[in-house]
A and B are shown apart, each in its own frame.
Chain A
Amino acid sequence: MLAQFGYGVLVVSFMVAIYSGITAVYGAAPSAKSAALVESARRAMLLTFPLISLSAAVLIYLLINNHFEVAFVYEVTSRSMPTYLKITAWWGGQAGSLVFWSWLLAVFTSAVTLRKWDRDIEFLPWVIVVSAVTLIFFLGMSVFFENPFARFWLVDGNVQPGMFAPAANATLFTPQDGQGLNPLLRHPGMVIHPPLLYLGFVSFVIPYAFAMAALITGRTDDRWIRITRRWSLWAWLFLSFGLVLGGRWAYDVLGWGGYWGWDPVEIAAFMPWLTGTAFLHSVMIQEKRGLLKHWNMILVILTYALVIFGTFLTRSGVLSSVHAFANSPIGPFFMGYVTLTLVVSVALVIWRWPILRSETEMKSMLSREALFLLNNLLFMSILVVCFWGVIFPLISELFTGQKVTVGPPFYERATAPLFSALLFLMAIAPFSAWGHSTMQTLGRAIWKSAAAALVVTVTLFLTYTQNIGALVGFFLVALALFATFHEFWRGARARQKAQNENFFTALSRLMGRNRRRYGGYIIHISIAFMAIGILGIEIFQKETQGTLTQGEQLNIADYTIEYRELASWDSPGEGVNYTRAILDVYENGIYLGQLNPRIDYYFDSQQNMTIPGLRSTLRDDLYILLVDWQPVSNMGATFKIYVNPLVNWLWIGNLLFLFGIIFAAWPDQDPAEEPARRSVARSNKQTSAAD
Chain B
Amino acid sequence: MKMNKFFIGGALILAAVVYLIVSSTQASAEYFMTVNELKEEGASAVGKSLRLSGAVIGDTIQYDAETLSLTFEVAHVTGDNNEIEAQGGLAEVLYQAVNDPSRERVSVVYVGPKPDLLRGEAQAIMTGKIGEDGIFQADELLLKCPTRYEEAVPEQAANSN
Contact = CB atoms under 8 A, between A and B. Distances in A.
Interface of A: 68, 71, 74-75, 152, 154, 156-161, 173, 175-176, 179, 182-184, 255-256, 317-318, 320-322, 324, 326-327, 361-363, 365, 370, 374, 377-378, 381, 384-385, 388, 392-393, 402-407, 409-411, 413-414, 417-418, 545, 547, 606-610, 625, 627-629, 638, 640
A75 B161 CA distance: 25
Nearest to B160: A157
B28 A327 contact: no
9 contacts: A317-B81, A327-B85, A377-B10, A381-B13, A381-B20, A384-B17, A393-B32, A404-B32, A406-B29
A121 B21 CA distance: 46
Nearest to A403: B32
Interface of B: 2, 5-6, 9-10, 13, 16-17, 20-21, 23-25, 27-33, 51, 53, 63, 65-66, 68, 79, 81, 84-85, 89-91, 112-117, 119, 125, 127, 140, 142-147, 149-154, 157-158, 160-161
Classify the secondary structure of B's interface with A: mixed
Contacts of A365: 5-6, 9
Interface of A is mostly: mixed
A413 B145 CA distance: 31
Contact of A409 (B21, B27, B149, B152): B27
Contacts of A361: 2
A391 B15 CA distance: 21
Contact of A159 (B63, B114, B146, B153): B153
A638 B69 CA distance: 12
B33 to A, nearest CB: 8
A405 B116 contact: no
Nearest to A160: B149
Nearest to B32: A403
Among B17, B51, B53, B114, max chain A CB count under 10 A is at B17
B31 A608 contact: no
B154 A176 contact: yes
Contact of A628 (B13, B114, B145, B151): B114
A125 B60 CA distance: 63
Nearest to B152: A175
B161 A158 contact: yes
A409 B24 CA distance: 8
Nearest to A316: B81
A628 B63 contact: yes
A406 B30 contact: yes
Nearest to A75: B147
B31 A256 contact: no
Most buried by A among B16, B25, B85: B25
Top 10 closest pairs, chain A to chain B, by CB? A157-B161, A403-B32, A628-B65, A414-B24, A410-B28, A409-B28, A175-B152, A638-B65, A413-B24, A608-B116
A318 B31 contact: no
Nearest to A154: B157
A627 B25 contact: no
A392 B29 CA distance: 10
A385 B20 contact: yes
Given A175-B152, A625-B113, A627-B68, A410 B53 contact: no
Given A184-B116, A627-B113, A388 B25 contact: yes
B149 A377 contact: no
A625 B16 CA distance: 41
A158 B88 CA distance: 14
Contacts of A384: 17, 21
Contact of A179 (B6, B116, B142, B147): B147
A627 B28 contact: no
B13 A377 contact: yes
Contacts of B16: 417
Contact of A405 (B20, B32, B119, B144): B32
